[in-house]
Amino acid sequence: MADNSADRTAAALGEPTLEEQIAAYQREFQDLDPQVEKVVSALSRLNRRMNVAYSRQTADLGISNAEWEVLKALVLSGAPYRMGPGELAKRLGLTPAAMTHRIDRMVAEGLVTRERDESNRVRVIVELTPVGREKWLAAMRLASVFEEDLLQDLSSEERHTLGELLTRLLIRVEHAQPDAGGRLTDLD
C-alpha cells in the first residue's frame, strides 16, 4: 500500500503561515504579485492537505490512494464499469507500464478483473468487481464527510462563488496550451 505520507505532512511543524510565506517570497523576488501568489499558494497547500486526508481514509479501508483513483475512474465510466488499461492510464496520468502493474495488484486483491476482449484481441478489459464497487462506495462515503466538513465554514453562496471561480480557472487551463514562453493561449 503506497502513499503513506499521511502523518509526516499532517502536523507540518513550524511551517510558516500563508501570509509569512508570501512576505518572504516578496523579499526575495520583488516583482511578485501578492494577490496571485496568495491564490496559487493556497491552492497548492490545500491540495497537499486534502491528499493527506484522502490517503489516511483509504488506508483505513485497506486500499491505497492509487487504487482508489482506479476505482473512481471505473465507476465514473458508468455500468458495466469497464475500461481498457490504456484509457485508464490516460485518465490517471500514468504510463501504460504503471497501469499494468497497478492492475496486477488490484486483480490479486479482487478489486477488478482483467480479460482479453474477444472481439479485438489486442484490447484488454478491466472490470470492476462487486468487492471493488463496495470499496469505492465506502471510500466515497468517507470522502464526502471530509469534504462537507472542509467546506463547513462557507455559506452556500460562498460555496457557489468558489465553485464558479475555480471552474473558470480550470476552463482556462484545460482549453489552452502553453506557448513557448509558458503563457496560456486559447485554442479556439
Partner DNA sequence: CGTGTAGTGTTTAGCTTCGAACTTTAGGTT
Partner DNA sequence: AACCTAAAGTTCGAAGCTAAACACTACACG
Name, in order, each residue with C-beta under 8 angstroms of 14's C-beta and a sequence gap of 6 or more.
none
- Could you tell me the strand order of the sheet in which 124-128 lies? 82-83, 124-128, 112-116
Nearer to its own copies, 107 or 140 (CB): 140
Beta-sheet strands, E only, within 18-95: 82-83
- The H or E element spanning position 167 is helix 156-174
Give least dist CB 37 to its own copies, A: 7
- 32 contacts DNA (rule: CB under 7 A): no
82-101 residues near its own copies, rule: CB under 8 A: 87, 89-91, 93-95
Closest CA to 109 of 80, 73, 68: 68
- 80 contacts its own copies (rule: CB under 8 A): no
Partners of 115 in beta bridges: 125
143-172 residues near DNA, rule: CB under 7 A: none
- 131 contacts its own copies (rule: CB under 8 A): no
Nearer to DNA, 87 or 134 (CB): 87
| Among 120, 144, 177, 185, contact with DNA (rule: CB under 7 A) | 120
CB atoms within 10 A of CB 92: 15
d(CA 157, CA 153): 11
40-99 residues near DNA, rule: CB under 7 A: 64, 66, 84-87, 93-99
Residue 151 binds which of DNA, its own copies, none (CB < 5-8 A, kind-dependent):
its own copies
Where does this chain bind DNA (CB under 7 A)?
A: 1-2, 4-5, 8, 64, 66, 84-87, 93-103, 105, 114, 120-124
